[in-house]
A and B are shown apart, each in its own frame.
Chain A
């Protein structure tokens, strides 16, 4: 097992993403950050705090559960669902930044786009991820990436966040055997 990002690296990556979000959006107007459970929600809350601090206005964060929109439900054991929490008055006309920990096949994000469409009509949808490990199966790419981590499909990427796991770290394991 190898550590790819330590706590300080993770903080720096999120701070940079926060600046990039504000730059691309020309400020914090209409921004809503929606995390995909489980770890995306914690990341969205952290990003929202950093963006709010830099911009000096409150940027809301929430959660978007995509379980019931997945295309692989019938191929796996039943998955537990998670709450969806959309802050304030919904997503109509807002710029939604989806936040997830690892971008891999892109299937989760495809499901997230469907789930989002059922909640309303966002003015724009962006994607922020902590780690992009490649191997996409859909024409999806992230707008903001903490770290590009070219990986083998045999490797496993573990994202640890203090809110969920007690510590902050991104590690990679396997792939050698």
Chain B
């Protein structure tokens, strides 16, 4: 693997290999000494053009636990706010000797441009681009599902036949997109539930069932319910009447949560809007994987950085 830009072009074997390495990384996180010498002398740059504390510190922890040097570059207060182009920023990082670049950008496709432009030799990890993809989030979600379902026997397994319901703002969600492609590759069955205004115009090519009625989707007793965050910062239009109506119609409230089988996992990529898309009782229940998702995020990102940066350079993509 040369770059990790999307889950759409990730093969089943590559995805499972990454999740298996993540299992070994997770085992390291349970030791007293949580650090590995693997990426000693390598430099990873966190290039964040969009605010994200959680994803950035997760990548930072992952890189540091592999002994890489980490440079955090956020657009605010940097030369980017003075009008520097992505190309000039990339060439600056190249001159500084970056081996890996973790990029988050408000424009869909920016990581792809960075990886294929020839501006930079570094391995590129997409940490979220516009409304396109957020591959490490989907990988940590898949990792979390696999661990809950198969425990210590997770290695080598896929998610064949696992029924996943993804609820919320599908239109703006790169988490949903990355999950749809990865879950399909791993054999899971995906149902997307959203208000019609928050479903993309053309989803005919998506390997997922579209449903507008949350109660009907939940009545089937899915294995996983994934609640997406209502992204206030992307809600410039009138997508639903008000937040109370959204919570009543598309939120995982106490009543809906109580109807779910006790084996159904409740997932959320965070940060949560408690009382809006997810009730506190669901978020804090034994069925909730929210905290596991955070811990697993570090293991999965360690695996991604290991696979991208540990081998000899110049491999074919």
Known: A73-B311, A74-B310, A76-B312. A81 touches B37 (CB 8 A): no
Known: A68-B306, A82-B24, A83-B27. A76 touches B36 (CB 8 A): no
- Residues facing B in A100-125 (CB within 8 A) are 114, 118-120
Chain A residues near B17 (CB-CB < 8 A): 80
Contact of A78 among B1, B32, B66 (CB under 8 A): B1
Establish whether residues B24 and A83, one from each chain, have CB atoms under 8 Å apart when the complex forms.
yes
- Residues facing A in B277-317 (CB within 8 A) are 306-307, 310-313, 315
For A119, give the chain B residue with the smallest CB separation.
Answer: B31
A118 to B33, CA, bound (A): 6
Name the distance in Å between B270's Cβ and chain A's nearest Cβ. Answer: 28
Contact of A73 among B21, B38, B315 (CB under 8 A): B38
Name the distance in Å between A110's Cβ and chain B's nearest Cβ. Answer: 12
Establish whether residues B21 and A76, one from each chain, have CB atoms under 8 Å apart when the complex forms.
no
Establish whether residues A78 and B31, one from each chain, have CB atoms under 8 Å apart when the complex forms.
no
**Interface presence of B23 (CB below 8 A):** yes
**Interface presence of A84 (CB below 8 A):** yes
Contact of B27 among A69, A77, A80, A84 (CB under 8 A): A84
Establish whether residues A80 and B311, one from each chain, have CB atoms under 8 Å apart when the complex forms.
no
**Interface presence of A65 (CB below 8 A):** yes
**Interface presence of A75 (CB below 8 A):** yes
Known: A81-B21, A82-B24, A119-B31. A76 touches B311 (CB 8 A): yes
A133 to B144, CA, bound (A): 44
Known: A74-B310, A78-B1, A118-B31. A69 touches B24 (CB 8 A): no
Establish whether residues B155 and A80, one from each chain, have CB atoms under 8 Å apart when the complex forms.
no
Chain A residues near B306 (CB-CB < 8 A): 68, 78, 81
**Interface presence of B20 (CB below 8 A):** yes
Q: Encode contact with B along A77-94: 1 for CB under 8 Å, 0 otherwise.
A: 111111110000000000
Name the distance in Å between A87's Cβ and chain B's nearest Cβ. Answer: 14
Main secondary structure of the interface of B (DSSP, over half): loop
Chain B residues near A80 (CB-CB < 8 A): 17, 20-21
- Residues facing B in A42-95 (CB within 8 A) are 65, 68-69, 73-84
For B24, give the chain A residue with the smallest CB separation.
Answer: A81
Chain B residues near A77 (CB-CB < 8 A): 311-312, 315
Known: A69-B36, A73-B38, A118-B31. A78 touches B24 (CB 8 A): no
Chain B residues near A75 (CB-CB < 8 A): 312
Establish whether residues B24 and A114, one from each chain, have CB atoms under 8 Å apart when the complex forms.
no
Chain A residues near B313 (CB-CB < 8 A): 74
Contact of A114 among B25, B37, B311 (CB under 8 A): B37
- Residues facing A in B12-46 (CB within 8 A) are 17, 20-21, 23-25, 27, 31-33, 35-38
Known: A69-B37, A73-B38. A83 touches B312 (CB 8 A): no
A114 to B310, CA, bound (A): 18
Chain B residues near A65 (CB-CB < 8 A): 24
Chain B residues near A84 (CB-CB < 8 A): 24, 27
Can you add 19 more A-B contacts, CB < 8 Å, to A68-B24, A80-B17? Answer: A68-B37, A68-B306, A69-B36, A73-B311, A74-B312, A75-B312, A76-B311, A77-B311, A77-B315, A78-B306, A78-B311, A79-B311, A81-B20, A81-B21, A81-B306, A82-B24, A118-B31, A119-B33, A120-B32
What are 29 sample pairs from A and B whose C-beta atoms fall under 8 A apart?
A65-B24, A68-B24, A68-B37, A68-B38, A68-B66, A68-B306, A68-B310, A69-B36, A69-B37, A73-B310, A73-B311, A74-B310, A74-B312, A74-B313, A75-B312, A76-B312, A77-B312, A77-B315, A78-B1, A78-B311, A79-B310, A79-B311, A81-B20, A81-B24, A82-B24, A83-B27, A114-B37, A118-B33, A119-B31
